[in-house]
Chain A
């Protein structure tokens, strides 16, 4: 690769990061796994003159699980999440293997993916479905915000130039009977989603939906939470009829664009097909746990 010239720093503490951010301002870019930033630099679509590699900030590479939820460091690699086991959050493991290819997953981080804010990113869709929030830190303050507010526009987040995304927090689901699916249409392995649908459903003992999350990739200018469809599910018994109704609703959400991966009409249809398939698989899985 032949990027424009840049200086490289590898600070050991967040304080040093803040210092460098203050010093270089707009010229600097944070480097996490490099799997979005470096391809852009290679094509000279991005040309930061300073790279601040946050890879040495060990405290951002691990997760802690409490009764309230799961707190994940922004530097956790896709691969680590793929191979971790958090039974309350099955959507994480369902989603991770769909991201890119093993090479990219070994390097890319969950925080980098969110900060990059690609509307087709898989983590965006999955973490919206999980109702996640983010923790953002700078020298002066720590703020928390819902992920939905964090995504502002195409490749644009609420992060300010002096800020670092440090943690992603997922609230514990409403019930222990939580099921999840990630469905993705890709043109080949390593491709971004033509359409991606993340589904997580927590069922009450009687099989009614206690909580539902549906996130969508490539269905809007930002990763997108299908709230209208989620609300149709909550409080109702998961049945084939409901699934049909809900998937019709899913195809009405979002605002996909026609491009080389398909027309808007096609993408809407894929959202419908995936919601239907995902929920049907979840229903089947639940039924089999019932009969067992």
Chain B
């Protein structure tokens, strides 16, 4: 049952989401709801080809359309030195194409007009002559010596972007060579797209009179975007005001800076009028940051008893035309080195090679803390193969290899220090909830009756909360986060954070954290995020980082307030500060429990009745630089049945037990888990951004790129274990991404389990019915 926001001691309670009354009534204020006086509209002309040289662009027809104000091309931007922009990954990306286009739907020209319709009409009338070039679609083909060179702008004359490796190659090779059992699997995680319901967009509003640029933008990281804009445009940073209004889902898609953003800013600067740009669905899916496209090979060495001895991973990462990954700067493959997962590998080695192809640029971390979904999917899939090879139950192979709770803080062979976990407890809880023994019995009976039934397990470890400044930065900016709290005279508070929620529930959960520290209720604390003129600097919301970073800042800022409040309370209670005790709700005089004052009395006094010499007001700001990341984990169990006639897979049970440390709001956590599981379901069964051999995007809309709805989504059963993070101020870890990270492997392991009696160890996602049917057909299992 949900609890009202007026509840006292709110931490850990299922407080109703404060943002919901606004959002579910359609009274949110999204980017496209904003209409400014004199606003102009922008639309982009895009390339129909994946790889082509631009011979000529003719604009005269387009300029004839009534209402057209300006048309911008790459040549115009070149004169301003803006035809290329830096990506967060340290590569660069074309804003508007010059010379050649490198992917289908690439931005070639921008039209600004009095109406969106006029802008679209003019786009259709821009004439562009292309000379098609041979496209490179397959990342392996891109690496061949005779492959066409895609990025002529680089000094390096091939399609290889980076090589990144971690771990001990030699020790790993040696361990594998001397291991009695070795399994090897090629696992592909296809290109998918975060596909938020609201596409990306912005309004650039430059006022020539004041010299100030207000930039409304669908941004998960408004402060970082302001800095990037200041660096790229040369505008002074304090004259840029970034407002990220309500956001209709981000999932990583709204972290990068896109060409349309830059064009609308340039146009507003030139025209002195607000310029709005909002993507169509196709523009969102076909051009903004995709995720995955990782092609991974893993080998696991083990003893006959199934104790793992080594892990070796080689990966080809397809980044498309530009490396537009939004990873922390020192991590070209994100946190992929979490690939040893929940298991105590003595040695490991992982390498990733980034490749350019004629596809849309990326890839972003789609509800995943920087390539963690890829890593988790890989290790959880290949551990499954090891279990099959040794004829061990998939739960048992995991138990034998888990990092044991007494090993924390655990030093992983690829360099991480896991903060805490109790993996056995989490797995046991999941097995109990699903009644694993009973499930296996049912499976055996149904198998005997000819049914194809499978059970899959995934026991993943996440790595979230980037992060500690000694390791993490984006373009040099350290990845701390912040919170500023102001308590007003009547004891009500506004708190602002450097993060920017997009459905995560910050308006409720951060209010709970602060209220709990200060003896207030969540209703008393208004959370505001997304306005760079008012909120303290922070790196934004993605990678499950908000609670580990800004959540810590919120608790610590509140404690700072308490330090001052205790002085004021002592004054009110007429005792010495040493004799004042915080009892969790009020300040009480030691030994005199009935003499106590709460935050509302203290707040009023802070403005009306201060101790001699004390500075008025009751505010605090905290910039929290976490000492480590947090490592949430989970145990997921899926049960599936395959229709032998159609190849459809029905998920009959799905139990998800998550351990995200201290739970701030169980209902919000469940909501996050349900959403992430539904996305994981889509990834496993429904989604791929596929391209044909000419580089045409085959899924550029929701008719072909399938997003699961409540109808397709299985029934989710959730549970929890609680292993607090030892370093986080309230012991919380992140959770938003765990379900997306952990679930794909559970689904696929279940399908493999159903087919394993027939020798199957691997199937490739997405598991469209026809693909499963093809496997059944080969095995002679079709009805």
Contact = CB atoms under 8 A, between A and B. Distances in A.
Interface stretch (B306-314, B547-555, B701-709): B701-709
A189 interface: yes
Interface in A177-194: 185, 187-191, 194
A273 B706 contact: no
Contact of A5 (B43, B121, B282): B121
Interface stretch (A79-87, A208-216, A255-263): A255-263
A189 B702 CA distance: 12
A187 B712 CA distance: 9
A189 B686 CA distance: 12
Contacts of B43: 2
B117 A273 contact: no
A5 B706 CA distance: 30
Contacts of A261: 768, 770
A61 interface: no
A250 to B, nearest CB: 13
Contacts of B116: 2
A283 B686 CA distance: 34
Contact of B704 (A5, A194, A260, A266): A260
B124 A273 contact: no
Contact of A187 (B121, B686, B773, B774): B686
B712 A273 contact: no
Interface string B108-135: 0000000011001100100000000000
B706 A191 contact: yes
A185 B646 contact: yes
B645 A273 contact: yes
Interface in B690-719: 690, 698, 703-704, 706-709, 711-712
Interface of B is mostly: loop
Contact of B646 (A5, A44, A191, A273): A273
Interface residues of B, number: 30
A2 B120 contact: yes
A270 interface: yes
B156 interface: no
A252 interface: no
A270 B648 CA distance: 11
B617 interface: no
Contact of B711 (A189, A263, A266, A269): A189
Interface string A249-292: 00000000000111100100110010001000000000000000
A189 B770 contact: no
A44 B282 CA distance: 13
A269 B769 contact: no
B149 to A, nearest CB: 31
B297 interface: no
Interface string B769-783: 110011000000011
Given A189-B711, A269-B773, A260 B648 contact: no
Contacts of A266: 647, 770, 773-774
Nearest to A47: B124
A273 B770 contact: no
A13 interface: no
Contacts of B698: 260
Nearest to A267: B770
A4 interface: yes
Given A5-B117, A189-B712, A266-B774, A260 B690 contact: yes
B781 to A, nearest CB: 13
Contacts of B648: 185
Contact of A4 (B121, B646, B704, B712): B121
B657 to A, nearest CB: 28
A277 B646 CA distance: 11
A129 to B, nearest CB: 20
Given A273-B646, A273-B783, A187 B706 contact: yes
Nearest to A190: B709
A188 B770 contact: no
Contacts of B774: 263, 266
Nearest to A266: B770
Contacts of B686: 187-188
Contacts of B783: 273
B341 to A, nearest CB: 31
Most buried by A among B117, B768, B769: B769
Most buried by A among B120, B707, B770, B783: B770
A273 B540 CA distance: 52
Contacts of A5: 117, 121
Contact of A188 (B124, B280, B711, B782): B711
A128 B648 CA distance: 27
Contact of B708 (A4, A44, A188): A188
Contacts of B708: 188
Contacts of A190: 709
Given A260-B690, A266-B774, A273-B645, A185 B769 contact: yes
A44 B706 contact: no
A194 B124 CA distance: 33
Nearest to B707: A188
Contacts of A189: 709, 711-712
Nearest to A4: B121
Given A185-B769, A187-B768, A273-B783, A44 B124 contact: yes
Most buried by B among A2, A190, A260: A2
Nearest to B282: A43
Interface in B76-125: 116-117, 120-121, 124
Interface in A2-19: 2, 4-5
A5 B773 CA distance: 46
A266 B773 CA distance: 8
A43 B704 CA distance: 14
B301 to A, nearest CB: 39
Contacts of A44: 120, 124
Given A2-B120, A191-B706, A262 B712 contact: no
A189 B703 CA distance: 11
A40 to B, nearest CB: 12
A92 B159 CA distance: 57
Contacts of B711: 188-189
Nearest to B770: A262
A4 B118 CA distance: 9
Interface in A42-101: 43-44
Interface string B581-595: 000000000000000
B709 A269 contact: no
B645 A277 contact: yes
Given A187-B706, A269-B782, A194 B769 contact: yes
Contacts of B768: 187, 261-262
Given A2-B120, A189-B709, 5 more contacts: A185-B648, A189-B711, A262-B768, A262-B773, A269-B782
Interface of A: 2, 4-5, 43-44, 185, 187-191, 194, 260-263, 266, 269-270, 273, 277
In the A-B complex, the 9 residue pairs with the closest CB atoms: A262-B770, A273-B645, A189-B711, A2-B120, A266-B770, A188-B706, A188-B712, A187-B706, A185-B646
27 contacts: A2-B117, A2-B280, A4-B121, A4-B124, A5-B121, A43-B282, A44-B120, A185-B648, A187-B706, A187-B768, A188-B706, A188-B709, A188-B711, A189-B709, A260-B690, A260-B698, A260-B704, A261-B768, A262-B769, A263-B770, A266-B770, A266-B773, A266-B774, A270-B645, A273-B646, A273-B783, A277-B645
